[in-house]
Amino acid sequence: MRLGLHTDYALRTLMYLASVDQRATIPDIAAYFEISRDHLAKVARRLSREGYVRSVRGVGGGLELAQAPNDISLGDVIVRLEGSLELLECVGAKQNVCVLQPDCRLRGVLAEAERLQVEYLRSIRLSDVVTPGRPLLTIDIPHDQPKAQAK
């Protein structure tokens, strides 16, 4: 499985919103990740339609999580945004798309792999990958590094 850019940006947006624990604007999020504002706006609209994000207009407005980070399953987000996670077309096909399909044992193996993958991703919550209210990135400065001298 390879996630699309739309899903990548959606996961980043959810992580960012959980980490700041307050409203954030699309320009803020786009600048943080150095990504396109226009593309992020489309992602935000989709997250809002899916019920993961709430958009507040006006002064002090912006985006905020519509659900608690512990209630957001990463697998559900991925499945809703990506749709099919099929490794090969034949796995979910009702009709034959391959001459081997009627008796192919690989199809069953791939279907089970997909099932396990989705089951695992659905067990992971946003709060498992982000500590709510804590920055996504922390920079540790080694204590043994010499300090700059004042001139």
pLDDT at 147: 52
- Domain residue ranges in the chain: 5-129
User: Which helix H or strand E contains 27, and what residues bound it?
Assistant: helix 26-33
Section 15-31 average pLDDT? 93
To 10 degrees, the CA torsion angle through 67, 33, 76, 118? -150
pLDDT higher for 74 or 136? 74
Contacts of 4 (CB under 8 A, 6+ apart): 81, 82
What number is the average pLDDT over the span 31-53?
96
Q: How many CB atoms lie within 10 A of CB 14?
A: 24
Q: What is the pLDDT of residues 104-125, one digit of tens each?
A: 788 778 888 888 988 999 999 9
Least confident of 14-23, 93-102, 123-132, 138-147: 138-147
121: exposed, middle or buried (C-beta count within 10 Å: 0-12, 13-18, 19+)?
middle
CA-to-CA distance for 31 and 25, rounded, in angstroms? 10
State pLDDT tens for residues 73-96: 999 999 999 987 776 666 666 666
pLDDT score recorded for residue 150: 47
**With pLDDT > 90 as the criterion, what percentage of the chain qualifies?**
55
Task: Tell me the CATH class for 5-129.
Answer: mainly alpha
Give the chain's mean pLDDT.
Answer: 85
